[in-house]
Amino acid sequence: MDAQPAAEDLQAYLLDLGRQLRAARRRLGLSLKVVEAMTGGEFKASALGAYERAQRTISVPRLHRLARVYGTTVDQLLPSDEAVIDLRDSATEPARVLT
């Protein structure tokens, strides 16, 4: 199978995740710099922005921590069921995770 559609699906999912992250932050009225300060620099403003723009992939442990910072749960940050993709075709590809 062609790996390209799976990569496009993954990028679309990450874009949806980024929109959810941005929406959660904005609901609290927080800027990227304020979140950086709130977390003592654990989450740099540049990294948060990259997560929100889907230019960087957030790890599961960091997503959990960010959910706590935003006072929500991971499942509320994840894209809706309609946006969930089937990545079984790419299961044999090595994972690339940037934190």
Quick: pLDDT tens for 4-57.
557 888 889 999 999 999 999 999 999 999 999 999 999 999 999 999 999 999
Alpha helices, DSSP H, located in the chain? 3-27, 32-38, 45-52, 60-69, 74-77
Question: Which residue did the predictor score with more confidence, 70 or 98?
Answer: 70
How many angstroms separate the CA atoms of 24 and 3, rounded?
Answer: 32
Q: What is the pTM of this model?
A: 0.77
Q: Residue 80: pLDDT band by 50, 70, 90 thresholds?
A: confident
For the domain covering 13-85, report its CATH number.
1.10.260.40
| Domain boundaries of the chain, sorted by first residue | 13-85
How many angstroms separate the CA atoms of 21 and 63, rounded?
Answer: 9
CA atoms within 13 A on the CB side of 82: 0
